[in-house]
Structure 1
Amino acid sequence: MAAPMGTPGRVDWVDTAKGLCIVMVVLLHSTFGVEQAVGREGFMHAVVAFAKPFRMPDFFLISGLFLARVIDRDWRLYTDRKVVHFAYFYLLWMTIQLVVKAPVLAAEHGSWWAVPGDWALALIDPFGTLWFIYLLPIFFVATKLARQLRIPPLAVWLVAAALESAPIHTGWMVPDEFAARFVYFYTGFLLAPRVFALAEAAAARPWLSVGGLAAWALVNGALVFGGFSEWPIVSLALGLAGACAIIVLATLLVRSRVFDPIRYCGEHSIVVYLAFFLPMAATRIVLLKTGVIDSVGLMSLIVTAAGILGALVMWWAVRRTRLDFLFTRPDWAHVAPRKRAAAARLQPAE
C-alpha cells in the first residue's frame, strides 16, 4: 500500500474509516435532534437509517485492530492506556454535559437536586452520547482477561456472536451495549491481519472494490428498508459486512487528497466525539430560532458540519493553554509513566 500521507506513524485508511464513522455518529444525533425539535423527518433520515447496521460496529471493530500490539503489557501500563485514559475523559465530559444540560434536567425532574443524582447514575449507566468511551475500557479489560485465562479465541467469538443475536434488553446501557457490540471489537482484535489484508486487496483492485461496494449497498439498503436488518444473525452479518465496506471505502478514499478532511476527523475522532454536542446543540437552536432554513434535511447537514468543525475549533483553541486538560490527559491522571513522545497529542481511540 502507498505510504501514508497523514501523520507519520499512523495508517491513513484506518483514520479515514474512523473519520467516516465519527461523521455518521454526529449525523445521527444531529438529524434526530432536528427532527425531534421540528416534529417531522427530513431527507437525511433515510441516510441515518441506512448507516444504522454498521455505524457503531465499524467503530468498535477498528478500535480493536491494534490491540494485539499492547494486550500483553503488564496490567498497570495496560490499565493506564486502556482504562484510565478513557475514564478520565468520560468523567470530565460527562460532568460538562450535565452542567450544560442541568437547567433542562432540573425542569424535567422538577428539582435541581435531581441533577447530582443523574451524575451519580452516570457512573454506572453511561450518560448521553458518551457511552462509546465508557464501553471501550470494558472491552479492553474483557479481552485481556479472556487471553490471560486462556479461553480459546473461537469460543470467545462464538459467545460474543450469540450475545449480539440474543434479545438482551435490560434497559441498562452497559449490559445491552456489551452484548450488542463486543463481537465487533473482538473481531477487530482477532482478525486484524485479515482486515489489513482486505485493505491491501481493495487498494490493489479499486474497480472490483467499487463493484463490491455497490453490491453491498444494494443488499444493505434492501434489508434495512425492508425491515429485516435487526433480525438475529442478519444484524450480525450486516454489521460485519458494513464494517468491511467502510474499510474498503476508506482505502479507496485515501487515494485522493480531497478526502483528507475525513482522515483528519478520524485522526482526532475522540476530540469530535467528546465535544460535538455543544456546537451541535447551539447551531440547532440558532437555526430553529431564526427560521432561516425550512428544510429539515438541510438543517441536519448544517448542524452536523457545525458539530464536527466546532469540536475541532474548541480543541485548536485550548491547545497549549491552561484548558488543554479538556482534550489531553494531564500527568496527574496517569497511573503509569507517561510516554514523552506522545505527551503533546491526544491518544487515539484505538
Structure 2
Amino acid sequence: MMHSVEGVERLAGAHGWLGTVVDFARPFRMPDFFLISGLFLARVIDRPGRVFYDRRVVHFFYFYVLWLTIQFAVKAPGFVADQGLAATVERYLAAILYDPFGTLWFIWILPVFAVTVRLTRKVPPAIIFAIAAGLEISNIQAGVTPENVLGYTALNEFAARFVYFYAGYWAAPLIFRIAGHVADRPLAAVAGLLVWGLVNGTLVFSGLATLPVVSLLLGFAGAGAIIAAATLVTRLGARFTPARAFQFLGANSIVIYLAFFLPMGAMRTVLLKTGVIDDVGTMSALVTLAGVTGPLVIWWFARRFGLNFLFSRPRWARIERPADRRQPAGMQPAE
C-alpha cells in the first residue's frame, strides 16, 4: 500500500485519502513484519550450520537476487538512459552486496538479522535487546546518508529494525501466549485494538510518533495489534469466507512481496494515462489491489507453465542435505 500510494501521489501531484491510512500505519508496518519474522527463528537457530544457513541465508538470498535481477531487467532502459550502463551495473552489484534495492531491501536484511542472532545467541538476551533498542532510539539515519556512507540503507534499517526482529525471537513464547489469550477473549481484544488505534492515530497526526522512545513503543504496540488482529481473523476464518481469503494471502505473503511491483506499476500507468479515475485515493486503492492480487496471478502462471523457480527454490540452490530435511527433496516454497 505504501509503495502504491506514494507512487500514485508523486506522479499525480496530489494527496489522496488512502495516504492517510499509510500515515497511520507508518509506525508499525515494518516493526510488525520483523517481529513476526523473528517469531519462528527459534526453529532453526541451533540447527547444524548447513541447515541454518540454507534456510535463513541461502533461501532468502536466492529469491532476493532472482527478483532483483527481474526488477533491473524491467527497469534497465530507464536506468541506463538516466545513469549510463556502467552506473547501472554498479548499482546492481551494490544492491546484491551491501546496498539493498528499493522494494526488496527487507528480504536482503532478513538473513543479516538471522545471522546476527545466531552469532550472539550466547550473549545474555537482555544485553542484545538493550543495544538494539538503543540503536532504534538513536535514529542514526539522521547522520548516515548516501553521500557519506556506503551501504547507508542497510545501516539505517539494521539500526531501526533489528530490535523488533530480536524481540520476536527472544519473546516468542510470551507472544504466542498472548495470541492464545486474544483467541480466548475476542471482545476484550477488539476493545484493546480500538484503544490502540486511537492512541496510535493521535500520536501520528500530532507529529509525535517519530520522537525517540515514542517510535519504539509505537512499533511494539502496533506489532502487538497486528498479531492480535491476525489471531482474530484466524478465529473468524473458520466461519467467514473473506477471513479465509486473508489467511491465504498471509500464508503466501512472500509471493506478493516478491512480485507486487509488476502489477502495481502496470495498473498505476494505466490509470494515470487513461484518466478514467480522477480521485487519487481511489486510484491508489486500485493500484494497491493490483499489487496484492496480481502476484497471485503471476504465481498461478508460473506453476502452470513450468516457471516454479520464480517462487520455489530449486534443488541446485540448496546447501542443506536431503537427510537433514523433514520434507522431501525438490523445490522449497518461498514462504
TM-score by length of 1: 0.89
Residues 73 and 345 of structure 1, relative CA distance in 2, 3 Å threshold: closer
Residues 342 and 45 of structure 1, relative CA distance in 2, 3 Å threshold: farther
User: Residues 209-224 of structure 1: matches in 2 within 5 Å?
Assistant: 209-224=189-204
1:166 partnered with 2:138: yes
Letter paired with 1:118: R
Q: Give the Å deviation of 1:345.
A: 5.2
Match of 2:235 among 248, 255, 261: 255
Q: Deviations over 1:51-74 (max 9, x none)?
A: 010101001000011111211001
Residues 342 and 200 of structure 1, relative CA distance in 2, 3 Å threshold: farther
When structure 1 is superposed on structure 2, of 225-234 and 253-262 the one drifting more is 253-262
1:299 partnered with 2:283: yes
Match of 1:120 among 93, 96, 106: 93
Q: CA separation in 1, counterparts of 2:329 and 2:107?
A: 20
Alpha-carbon RMSD: 1.3
Q: CA separation in 1, counterparts of 2:171 and 2:252?
A: 24
Match of 2:39 among 65, 68, 73: 65
Match of 2:301 among 305, 308, 317: 317
Q: CA separation in 2, counterparts of 1:342 and 1:247?
A: 32
Q: CA separation in 1, counterparts of 2:6 and 2:200?
A: 21
**Contact 2:255–2:334 at 8 Å: present in 1 too?**
no
Letter paired with 1:161: A
- The equivalent of 1:22 in structure 2 is none
1:346 partnered with 2:318: no
- The equivalent of 2:73 in structure 1 is 99
Q: CA separation in 2, counterparts of 1:113 and 1:136?
A: 29
1:238 partnered with 2:218: yes
Q: Give the Å deviation of 1:255.
A: 2.6
Of all paired residues, the percent bearing the same amino acid is 53
Q: Give the Å deviation of 1:112.
A: 3.0
Q: CA separation in 2, counterparts of 1:57 and 1:174?
A: 16
User: Residues 26-175 of structure 1: matches in 2 within 5 Å?
Assistant: 27-109=1-83, 111-123=84-96, 124-147=98-121, 150-169=122-141, 170-171=144-145, 172-175=152-155
Q: CA separation in 2, counterparts of 1:152 and 1:66?
A: 19
- The equivalent of 2:149 in structure 1 is none
SS of match in other structure, 1:64? helix
Q: Deviations over 1:253-302 (max 9, x none)?
A: 22323212221111111111000000000010011111100011111110
1:198 partnered with 2:178: yes
How many residue pairs match? The answer is 319
Q: CA separation in 2, counterparts of 1:187 and 1:260?
A: 28
- The equivalent of 1:288 in structure 2 is 272
Q: CA separation in 2, counterparts of 1:202 and 1:214?
A: 14
Q: Deviations over 1:106-138 (max 9, x none)?
A: 2222x2332212211212100110001101000
SS of match in other structure, 2:189? helix
Letter paired with 1:152: P
SS of match in other structure, 1:319? helix
Q: Give the Å deviation of 1:316.
A: 1.1
- The equivalent of 1:8 in structure 2 is none
**Contact 2:68–2:101 at 8 Å: present in 1 too?**
yes
Q: CA separation in 2, counterparts of 1:64 and 1:36?
A: 33
Letter paired with 2:18: M
Q: CA separation in 2, counterparts of 1:98 and 1:265?
A: 26
**Greater relative contact order (Cα 8 A, min sep 6): structure 1 or 2?**
1
TM-score by length of 2: 0.92
Which consecutive unaligned segments of at least 5 residues does structure 1 have?
1-26
- The equivalent of 1:182 in structure 2 is 162
**Contact 2:24–2:204 at 8 Å: present in 1 too?**
yes
Residues 151 and 345 of structure 1, relative CA distance in 2, 3 Å threshold: closer
Q: Deviations over 1:64-87 (max 9, x none)?
A: 111112110011110011000001
- The equivalent of 1:17 in structure 2 is none
